[in-house]
Amino acid sequence: MTSSTPLNITVITVSDTRTEETDKSGDLLVQRAKAAGHNLLGKIIVKDDVYQLRSVVSQQIADPQVNAILMTGGTGFTARDNTPKAISPLFDVDIVGFGELFRQLSFEEIQSSTIQSRAFAGLANGTIVFCVPGSPGACETAWDRIIAEQLSSEHKPCNFVDKLLVDKNS
């Protein structure tokens, strides 16, 4: 699905081990966003550390050019999965339905293992932030079945585009 209103997107991979050469999940989100006609403002790999994550994401949320942030990784149940703890406090509004729908769709693919997914999303300072698991399959499910439509101004009956095209400086 393409959007008649291109958004400015940053992709963030949360990982202690991935590099630009091995970041298949981040690359998938970059490719999907570009194919949908959106503008890629940047791709960042950040360590799975609460304070580094908050710093990087806060800078993106404060940037008036950034409309959306697609994050992959750090949403599991290990001690090093800090994305929810780091990012949730930054939200002005939680998009509860995203995590619910992601897990429902994921159940079709990985059955009950989906209960270990802490995928979530929210709005912060006029920027939408989607946080999905770090596997390429999870990124594909999230983008193809939820995010692409919600970032398309063509999707009806509603999408997030009008909520993202606000002046952050006012």
**Whether pLDDT at 1 is above 60:** no
Whole-number pLDDT of residue 11: 98
Average pLDDT estimate for 75-91:
87
Which whole-number Å values give the CA distances from 64 to 35, 76, 89, 165, in the listed order? 23, 30, 20, 10
Return d(Cα 119, Cα 138) in angstroms, integer: 10
Residue 140, pLDDT > 60, answer: yes
Residues 104, 102: Cα–Cα separation, whole Å: 5
Whether the pLDDT of residue 168 is over 80: the answer is no
Q: 170 lies in a domain?
A: no
28-58 b/e with 16+ CB inside 10 Å = b?
Answer: bbbebbeebebeebebbbbebbeeebbebbe
Supply the pLDDT for residue 170: 59
| Residue 104: per-residue pLDDT | 92
Q: Give the Cα separation of 114 and 35 in Å (integer).
A: 28
Instruction: Confirm whether pTM is higher than 0.85.
Output: yes
Arithmetic mean of pLDDT over the chain: 91
**Is 84 domain-assigned?**
yes
Question: Is the pLDDT score of 12 beyond 90?
Answer: yes
Residue 105 located in a structural domain: yes
Count of the separate structural domains present in the chain: 1
Q: Which residue range(s) make up the domain with 158?
A: 8-164
Give the mean pLDDT of 152-160. Answer: 93
pLDDT at residue 108 in the model: 84
For residue 101, being part of any structural domain is answered with yes
| Whether the Cβ atoms of residue 84 and residue 77 lie closer than 8 Å to each other | no
What pLDDT score was predicted for residue 77? 76
Across 36-62, average pLDDT: 96
Average of per-residue pLDDT across 43-66: 96
Is 14 in contact with 46 (CB distance < 8 Å)?
yes
Helix (H) or strand (E) holding 127: strand 127-132
Supply the CATH number for residue 140's domain.
Answer: 3.40.980.10
- Residues 6 or more apart from 161 whose CB is under 8 A from it? 3, 5, 7, 151, 152, 153
In a domain, 3, yes or no: no
